[in-house]
Structure 1
């Protein structure tokens, strides 16, 4: 007889017996046995309590009832503490024993006496999240004023990484080569080169500051540490006023980020904009926290999506995560705000940590950014001196830019990731290497080396790093120029620039050209210096001889007319300074020798387009002209850097008054006139309705004893089809106008920023935005009145990760007191100012 082989997994019968035994053990094992518990949750009137919460203390988890108050969950056998709760009811704790049979357990909750009115809301069977949000809204005025004043240390870190899809494709090919056994000659050197290339694509900034705050909106930053690793252009490094995203306010303003403010999910009218869903009730150290999903009722530029975490009973925000998608965003494709709150006193919670994630695409590259803002040493009810706060909202100390690693190791309240540690180490080593004299000399030698491309295309530059000097000579291709008078000209351009350590700057330039047709010369020499950076003090001097456009702001076709030009020999000096915050004084004095161009051969290719060869004829004369301008912006906010002042704008209008005088019998001057002009301009932020801009101006020649044609007050003729700056020109003015007496002028434009389009489901997907405006003018001497209204649509197009082009189509209706109404259409082009993050109009 053949002996029976020992049992093993290779034998089919043994394998089946073993697996069956294990399954039976698991199923009957009391430690692994799971059973269900279910039931109905009702109130004292035996009415269901929809969406009530069921929490198991030992497991730190739970479930929610449905709209009928029915709940069901599966749980291992054992003894547990079940907590049943709902908004407006007293929580109830039950000890529950889960055995080997399904358990039915009905619970009755008692209403809280202070919230009996809320039971009516529950009867609508809405998600309980709505009642929770309602409690937050009812109490938010209290939350807004809990912090009367405060002082805290803040650590800020911003980081950007650049992902290149093309580079990843190349790396995939290299990895394929490696899989085939094709290896580079020096694998270690290649790996190091790749790592350095990755570090070059990461930029980072660290900042340490003391934040001072006083209710409701006064703040001041004292920046004591500032370190840049790489470049900062794409990083979100806000002032407190630009990152004080207080969601207890009805509107959250996102300056520099979005075109319109964000409607807070806990605003007074939030239920009209958002839907809410209670996802779970979480037990934390501070108590129970409701996790509520926030969804826009209609996607739009002023709404967000994400999660709110609300503290039970106190109804304060515990934390949040809200995301805005591109549409209203200026530069980013997506922007996420995360806030984590902390209790600093009894029922007083502050957002002690903020985090911002942002992303944008440009070509094959994806730019991903992250900024954190962390509080430490928070002092509530800090007492400030009477004049501590003002229009200066931030000041940077001289030592801030020189802090070493020892300082930063102590200052960081947010630990560095491994990647960030690598970035700092790599950038510090690069900075150290680039600071050596040998490296500086080598870079200067390379930069100052003259190449064929520089001579022909780019221009020749000479740089001295130690003294921050730079000389530039124009390339050969730019030697050829063109003037309306006489056509082609040839000549060079040279400039010199120097920046000083104290913030002062100096720039000089000179140009010279010879006309190929008339053999005449023109040229200009200019000098400019910022001698007082903290008071924005500038001085400039210019001397030259050139062809001068009488109305340089006129329609572009008129700029091609010979009758618009004279020969201009001039010398002028200009000075501007800020006497006190927001109050500027500028003064200019210029001597002008004005000559006609009748003796020049004026034919050129322009004559084929503009059939006109009638120069302005007059007797040559001299003019000494001065201009003094006063400008005041109340409440102008600003930052103070160690060597400069940075103006941040104001919510109030800018008022200006100017006086221009033509002097008679002074330095052979032949003219005699006085002109006064006053103006007001302002940018108005109107919440979710968009933003408006307006300009108002009035002027009058109070002396016209000898007023020449060149010095008249002029109004620009409109361009055919092209939309011009609506704050300084009209769209259907069919001729150039001038004034020697009183005139009044007004311009207004409003960008709805999606406020109207967002309510039209199909059209809003086109991402177009509506615009409207108006303009009016009155000239006394001719009793000429002009008025116009316009409306149109615009769309923003991406030209790169940080550049945007805004295209628009407008319809215009105008009327004068001399002609019947007329209509026309215009096309607009506007490129955003990437530095200021603002459009031209």
Structure 2
């Protein structure tokens, strides 16, 4: 009896497996003229299980044995259904009819308002309800990204582009191809969790995709879109935003019937050419006033950077009583320095679960988790699970680059590659830098370029500073750097040398330890004043020697580590012997009658005697930095912080210990800083601020190099920094007591100049700002400035007040390189 029972169970199991077997349905989707229709959504009717066609209209879907009905939907085409009896693999090609939108029942009177406006007003009225109707959901998300060159110059900076980028003879080819699958979860107001299931990058077998489902989210029910994406400094106004009628013109192109719904096809265009808005088509359902799809473009006129056009096509599928994104495509093209490119990122959503019950603690600051096994899936897995088939071009790219990637891992290949790349040239050692790379052993040596090593100042005269950086990489993103550096002044004949090392031993905990010792010529302002090259030019050509120097013999041990999410700790122990220096030469190319070199004493420009006695100091410095609402991405080899919407706080305590190892200093300094950059203000740009304060709790013995210094500026040209003053002297107002410092800057991101026809093409960004400092000897010092900037350059005009009295004004030129 027992054997009969087991036999019966086995037979039933085999029957179940046979009937549960899945088969492959594949084909090509075209229009009535036989042209391929890209990215058509193919779903099993009544479910959210589906796939998408690729750019060539090809699709593949796995279905259970039996009778199934497939739906084929694409924006601008009539939805088609096909019922099939599946008992084997099937090839099913499908032709879709273009959706015909008619205006038969619409009468537009002369000077009357287009009917589209009434439809859009209703959509705006329901916008907030649809934005908030879903409390939570989860779904499977597949993302594919592809970028390719479709034209390029033969050479760029002397390098053969075809060989360098592995292009065809027409200098065309795929630069980047990546796929990923994730499980994505969302809950109001902004809690997200994503776990990457699989990842693949063409030509990088061991890499992990940077695809992120949260980056692919765009919701046109929101008023403003695409903020802080790098696409533009400003946000873009949705066609159904609360104030959309101020920015858009609408035209009803026609209506059609679909599944009992009347769908309105509405053209949207900017009222003003250069407003930050979309142009294209939106689809809105009558009665419910829901968005049913979008086919919208952003162009250079709207203020996008680096690309010419970005197309956003979104299609919705019905899930229960809701409509959720089925697929979303970002397609782009552009031309930068003769490099013509195009590409797309598409996300496909399936297996929706609306309003699931997430367990307590499900959502954490970890918004994306990538494990070691993510990139280990083989070709069979991808063939069975990829919802968008590869095109022939993409398939060939995988085969070609993956085989090259395997070959590149061999020592023979890497040695031959290094032999070509490591060749020594005079140009490298003088102008750029000379590197010796050993990729097989994951190490490199980089030699400084001579052009940056030779300089002049009035303390050392003609001098040279030269260093070599050694870098060794280990598994899990760990690395070791060792840098010896030597410096010699030919006039004062002082030779210094030091060695700095740093070992980054835990990328997940962001932990590292450093050890440095030797001697150096250092700036009296520990933040630095200007580069050696800038000071050389100012000294030789303009008789201005702004930086002041001293010599220090030192030993330093430091470490850093994350204590908790968003909380970073640092600790450093220093010992140094510090010696004042004086000018050794007053040489310059041109002698200006109205100016002369100053001494190396910043507080007494005419007194060239030593600024302070030689002294020793031993200090311990501890710091904590905490970011509110810090979210992060976990990868197998690192932890990546994302930009927080909230400020970052920093607390630092420095103790000079008198008597230990002969230390002469005796003080306690506590500093605090709160800061945040790029606080988005929608169409009005963004704001950044820094607020800092500090106090010497004990200042029994503080030598000038240990004072609290500030980031001043005495030059017309300077590298920008939010914490940097534009007119404050580098040294005069450093303090050994207490201080309060603040900086506020707002970038209008073209909000004003974009309205001026002759200037809008330059894409200039307007900035206004103020800086404030008060301390016992410099009370209520304030700077106000305004200006414009673009990419790496900027110009501003500012005025400085000292306790209400104007003390300086003028132009400042910024360069960020």
Q: How high is the TM-score relative to the length of structure 1?
A: 0.75
Residue number in structure 2 paired with 1:158:
145
* Distance apart, 1:474 and its partner CA: 4.7
Match of residue 127 from structure 1: 114
Please tell me whether residue 585 in structure 1 is matched to residue 540 in structure 2: no
Q: Is the 8 A contact 2:586 2:597 kept in 1?
A: no
Aligned to 1:244: 217
In structure 2, C-alpha distance between the alignment counterparts of 1:456 and 1:747, rounded to whole Å: 39
Structure 1 pair 496–809 and aligned structure 2 pair: CA distance change class (3 A) = closer
Residue 308 to residue 59, structure 1, CA distance change in 2 (3 Å):
closer
Counterpart of 1:216? 189
Matched, 1:748 2:738: no
Q: Is the 8 A contact 2:409 2:440 kept in 1?
A: no
The DSSP-based 3-state class of the residue aligned with 2:662 is coil
Distance apart, 1:248 and its partner CA: 0.5
Q: Please state if 1:374 is matched with 2:348.
A: yes
Equivalence for 1:317: 291
- The worse-fitting range, judged by mean Cα deviation, of 425-434 and 622-631 is 425-434
Instruction: Map 1:135-154 onto structure 2 (within 5 A).
Output: 135-154=122-141
C-alpha distance in structure 2 between counterparts of 1:734 and 1:441, whole Å? 53
Cα deviation per residue 1:323-370 (whole Å; 9 max; x = unaligned)?
112353343332221111111123x11112111112232222112121
TM-fit CA distance, 1:256: 2.6
User: In angstroms, what is the RMSD of aligned CA positions?
Assistant: 3.3
Q: Taking structure 2 as the reference length, what is the TM-score of the superposition? A: 0.77
For residues 626-658 of structure 1, the C-alpha deviation after alignment (integer angstroms, 9 at most, x for no partner) is 211111111111100001101112111111111
Query: How much has 1:817 moved relative to structure 2?
Result: 2.3
CA 301–537 in structure 1, closer or farther in 2 if over 3 Å, else same: farther
Partner of 2:627: 633
Q: Which stretch shifts more, 317-326 or 690-699?
A: 317-326
Q: CA deviation at 1:502?
A: 2.1
SS of corresponding position for 2:477: coil
1:836 maps to none
Residue in structure 1 matching 2:371, options 379, 382, 397: 397
Does structure 2 conserve the Cα–Cα contact (< 8 Å) formed by 1:288 and 1:312?
Answer: yes
Partner SS, residue 717 of structure 2: coil
d(CA) in 2 for partners of 1:452 and 1:765?
41
Do the aligned partners of 1:563 and 1:616 also contact (CA within 8 Å) in 2? no
SS of the residue aligned with 1:713? Answer: coil
**How many angstroms does 1:447 deviate by?**
4.5
- Separation of aligned partners in 1, 2:551 and 2:341: 51
Q: Given the alignment of the two structures, is residue 203 of structure 1 paired with residue 163 of structure 2, yes or no?
A: no
Deviations 1:427-468, CA, capped at 9 Å, x for gaps: 122223323443234334444565666666665544433431
Aligned to 2:654: 660
Residues 457 and 760 of structure 1: CA distance in aligned 2, closer, same or farther (over 3 Å):
closer
SS of aligned partner of 2:691: strand
Report the CA distance shift for 1:213/1:492 in structure 2 as closer, same or farther (over 3 A).
same
Instruction: Give 1:572's match in structure 2, choosing from 556, 566, 585.
Output: 556
* Greater mean alpha carbon deviation, residues 257-266 or residues 321-330: 321-330
CA distance in 1, matches of 2:318, 2:569: 50
Distance 1:774 1:535 in 2: 37
Match of 2:103 among 60, 64, 88: 64
604-613 or 260-269: bigger deviation? 604-613
The answer as to 2:794 corresponding to 1:808 is yes
Q: Secondary structure at the match of 2:240?
A: coil
Map of 1:324-473 to 2, 5 A cutoff?
Answer: 324-326=298-300, 328-346=303-321, 348-447=322-421, 461-473=435-447
What is the alpha-carbon distance in structure 2 between the residues aligned to residue 782 and residue 379 of structure 1?
A: 65
Instruction: Show the counterpart of 1:275.
Output: 249
The equivalent of 2:676 in structure 1 is: 682
Who is 2:643 aligned against?
649
2:770 aligns with 774
- 1:390-421 CA-to-partner distances (Å, cap 9, x unmatched) read 21111111112222212221231112222212
**Partners in 1 of 2:152 and 2:414 — Cα distance?**
34
Output the CA distance in 2 between the equivalents of 1:422 and 1:571: 56
Most deviating of 654-663 and 709-718: 709-718
Pairwise CA distance, 1:704 = 1.1
- Secondary structure at the counterpart of residue 628 of structure 2: coil
> C-alpha deviations, 1:129-166, integer Å up to 9, x for none?
11111222222233223332222111111111113254
Asked if structure 1 preserves the Cα contact closer than 8 Å seen for 2:699 and 2:737, the reply is no
Distance 1:67 1:808, change over 3 A: farther
Residues 585-621 of structure 1, C-alpha deviation per residue, up to 9 Å, x if partnerless? Answer: 11111111111225x8445548968523525343211
State the alpha-carbon separation in 2 of the partners of residues 340 and 155 from structure 1.
15
Matched with 2:469 is: 495
CA drift of 1:62 comes to 5.7
Residues 547/268 of structure 1: CA separation in 2 closer, same or farther (3 Å cut): same
Unaligned runs of 5+ residues in structure 2 are 1-77, 79-96, 156-162, 600-607
Q: Quote the offset at 1:270 in angstroms.
A: 1.0
Alpha-carbon separation, structure 1, partners of 2:449 and 2:128: 64
Give 1:236 deviation, angstroms.
11
When residues 333 and 62 of structure 1 are mapped into structure 2, their CA distance, relative to the original with a 3 A threshold, is closer
612, 632, 646: which is aligned to 2:598? Answer: 612
Q: 1:705 aligns with which of 694, 700, 705?
A: 700
Aligned length: 687
Distance 2:323 2:779 in 1: 63
Q: 1:734 to 1:504 in 2, by over 3 A?
A: closer
Q: Report the alpha carbon displacement of residue 521 of structure 1 after superposing the two structures with TM.
A: 1.7
1:789 counterpart residue number: 784
Secondary structure in 2 aligned to 1:416?
coil
Task: Indicate conservation of the 8 Å contact 2:280/2:297, yes or no.
Answer: yes
Give the whole-Å Cα distance in 2 for the aligned partners of 1:551 and 1:606. 27
User: Secondary structure in 2 aligned to 1:63?
Assistant: coil
Q: CA 1:565/1:202 → structure 2, altered by over 3 Å: closer, same or farther? A: closer
Deviations 1:707-760 (A, max 9, x none): 112212223443343366462132233673122222111110001112233445
Is 1:674–1:702's contact at 8 Å kept on the other side of the alignment? yes
Tell me, yes or no, if the aligned pair for 1:158 and 1:236 is still in contact at 8 Å.
Answer: no
Q: 1:554/1:462 Cα in 2 relative to 1: closer, same or farther (>3 Å)? A: closer
Displacement of 1:679: 1.2
Is the Cα contact below 8 Å between 2:487 and 2:520 reproduced in 1? Answer: no
Query: Cα 1:59–1:605, aligned 2, differ >3 Å: closer, same or farther?
Result: closer
Residue pair 1:156, 1:208 contacting (<8 A) in 2 also: yes
SS in 2 for 1:670: coil
- Which residue does the alignment assign to 1:732? 727
Give 1:51-90 correspondences, 5 Å limit: 61=100, 63-64=102-103, 68=107
Give secondary structure in 1 for the equivalent of 2:751: coil
Q: Compute the displacement of 1:552 (Å).
A: 4.7
The alpha carbon displacement at 1:765 in A equals: 4.6
Residues of 2 paired with 1:252 and 1:485: CA distance?
55
Gapped regions of structure 1 (runs ≥ 5): 1-54, 71-122, 169-189, 797-803, 832-841
Shift of 1:555: 5.1
Q: For residue 715 of structure 1, give the secondary structure of its aligned residue in structure 2.
A: coil
Is the 2:632–2:642 Cα contact (8 Å) retained in structure 1? yes
Partner of 1:533: 507
